[in-house]
Structure formats: C-alpha cells, structure tokens
Structure 1
Amino acid sequence: MRAGCRAAKGGRHTAAVWRRESEGLIQIMEAAGGRLIVSGMSEALALNEPVVFIANHMGMLETFFLPAILMAHGDVSFVVKQSLLDYPLFGPLLGATHPIALTRQDPRGDLKTVLTRGCELLKQGRSIVIFPQATRASAFTPSKFNSLGAKLAARAGVPIVPLALKTDFMRVGKWVRDFGSLDRELPIYFRCAPPIMPPINSRDAQAEVVAFIRCCLTEWGGQIDDGEVADEESEPES
C-alpha cells in the first residue's frame, strides 16, 4: 500500500495500481484466516456500460476489497466521507480515484453533489459505488437505507446492480472505529443481484435492492433491524 500511496502522491496512481493494492489487502486478509466468498458477479461484469452499485455497509473491509472485485467491470468511483481522504496511506489512494466526497455537514448540498458529480462520472464511463446508510453498522436497517443510489441511476439512465455484503469478519473498533478485532469464524460475503435495467422507477428499484440485501443477510445469518424511517437527504457513508 505504501507504494500505491507514493504513486498517488506523485500523480502516477492508476486503476491498475488501485486494483493491485486491493488484491494485496485481500491476500493479507486470507493469510490472517479470512474466507472471501464472492457470487453473482457475472451479469454485472458482462455489462458494457457504467452502473450504480448500491450496497449495505458494515465496515471498512468493503471499501478496501471492492476495487479488486468490481474493477473487472471497469473503473469505479466511491461515494465517501470527506474525512476518509485524510487517512494515512489509504487516503491518497482513494483520493486519486475520482471519489465523490461528502462533508456530512450539509445534507442538501451532499445530495446535490452526488446527483451532479455522479452523473458526470457515469457519463465518463465510471461506475459508482454507493452505501446509502447514514453510518456503518453490523445490523441492516432497511428503513435507514435511503434511495439516493436509485435516484442517481434513474437520473443518469444507467443500470443498478444491487450488492449485498457481510464483512463483520472485522468488527467495528472500540477505540478506532474503522479497525477492530477479527472473527475468523465469519466468512466475508459479496453477492450481486442481476442488474436492474433502465428506465428505472427509483421507488420500485429501491424496494428491490432492499429486498435482495435482506434476503442475502438472512441466508448468511446476518442481523436485520427494522427501525426508523430513512431520511431521504441523509448522505451515504464509506
């Protein structure tokens, strides 16, 4: 990762570098006893156009690992917290890949940023990865999973690829939230649903994404928490 960081700071960071760094992190995870199970990717990877990947969000592992998995489809940009770009090593790597950075201070402004900048990047051929939750959590709360990703895809006229994941192999940290203890008994799951093709009704697409994630987490023994109604303007976190 240090080499990738130097490349980013020197303006030499490329998609290939980012993907290679992500693959290296997966190898480290596997050496530490982790098991990665990936499924359902073939239809998404076969699409010859950018898409919006809409996923639940448990922790930092998905931000680290998804580039290696999704960049077989093409270049991707993540919707992330601005503060992630300040992380040592990881921040410069992420910052060199055209992320959509949100402040979390101005929900309306962040909404506009995602819709405007997201459409621009999609037109350039970059897929977007969005986690429509206000915070990372081990339990999936459907009512707090906002529809911003579906709205972006509908506005841009691109497919949605629902993405369910379970990454509680690494727990939320007690002292440093992004890095906690490892539970080697828990596999790491990533699964894509068949693409939802345009024209897209954002409300129907949102329901389909939520149902897919709920089904996968139930199968994997994940936690479902039916809680409060989502704030449609609350920004995603990465």
Structure 2
Amino acid sequence: MSKLGKYLIFLGKLFTNPEKFRVYVSLVFQECMDIGINSLLIVTIVASFLGAVTCVQTAANMDNPFVPQYIISLIVRDSTLLELGPTITCVVLSGKVGSSIAGQLGTMRITEQIDALEVMGINSQSYLVLPKILASIITFPMLVTLACFLGIYGGYIAGWLTGAISPQEYIHGIQFQFKGNYMFFALVKSVVFAFLIASIASFQGFYTKGGAYEVGKASTAAVTNSCIAVLIADYLLAQLLVG
C-alpha cells in the first residue's frame, strides 16, 4: 500500500470508536496550551521582524518621487495578510509543532505506550491524534491573526524609527482600499495548514519503528513533508480563492 493510502486510512480511523466527549475537552484544552501558548514567542519574533524587513526593503526600492509614501505600508499590509502572516508563520510552526508531535508520538510508539492503549480497547488514533488536530485548528488561526497584526505593526515601528515613512502616511496606507476578504483568506489558509501539519506529523510519529534514531528521522520527515504540503496547499488555495 502506498504511503498516501496509509495516510488516508489513518485519517479515517480518527473518527471510529471515539471516546466520550468530555474526555476530548480536557485533551484538546491541554493541547491548545502546548501548541498555542508555547508558540507565542517564536511567532511574535518572526512576524515582527518580517514586517519590519518588508517595510525597510520596500522603502529602499521606492526611490521614485512620483510614488506616494503610503504605498509602502499598503505593500506591507497586503504581503503580510496574503503570504507572510499565514504561510511563513505556519512553515515556522511546522518545524516547532510538527517535530514536537512526531517526537512525542514516536516515543510513545517505541516505548509501547500506544500498544498498551490498544490492548485496553482504546482507539489510539482517536485518543492521541484527534485532540492534536483539533487544537491545531483552534490555535493556528489565532496565531496567524497575531502574526498579521505584529507584521503590520513591526513595519510601522521600522518605518517610524528609520524615517522611511511617517506614521500618518503608514496608517493611511494600511487603510487605503482595504479588502476584508484578505483576512478571511489568511484564516482559511491557517485552518488548512493546521490540519496538514498536525495530521502529517501525527502520521509520521504514530508509525515510527525502531529506537531513538528512528524517532529523530520521523521528526525530520514530519517537518519536511508538512512544509512541502503547506507550500502546495498555499498555491492551490491562492489559485482557488484569489486567482
């Protein structure tokens, strides 16, 4: 059987013989804390500096006196909402969250904890993986929203400190011809990316065989495959929703 077929079967088993609802509530809440709260620092740093760099580099290339200053912040706004906020943030999260999920499940597999759950009659896929996917779908849009705000605000601070654009012109630029569907597009991308990252990382970790070396390989494969999946999905969503 191909790896794709095995992956689809793995996803199907998530919803067979589930546990009671109250069991998932506590598990999802704990996963939200692990995935969301623990990712705030890296998202804050990456998003702020991406916005700042975009602003400075755009201003450096805007040497035409006939181009108004507010175009700089308009470019920062659109590039942040359409690409830098959702896509780059999720690529970073695929490294942090994806490797963590794959390593955790891989360790549970080689220490036979997953086998023990199955002996007790518990659907290990549903019990271990489904809360991680649901928590990712809940927290990723929040992190992407924060990243979009910080990216635009980082551009504001950089433009103000370097004198590349005045605060008044920057605010006018981010308000100029704003399209609300750009934010909707960013949130849709974040939900799709969250599902791909969590499910691919869980799949890689769940079927780990061997020892500690194989756990490391599973974590690496989870990050690599989820990054590729995010970039492919990014193109398809851009073609579907914007193109």
Would the TM-score normalized by the shorter structure come out above 0.5? no
Larger % of strand: which?
1
Please give the TM-score of this superposition, normalised by the length of structure 2: 0.30
Structure (1/2) with the larger helix percentage: 2
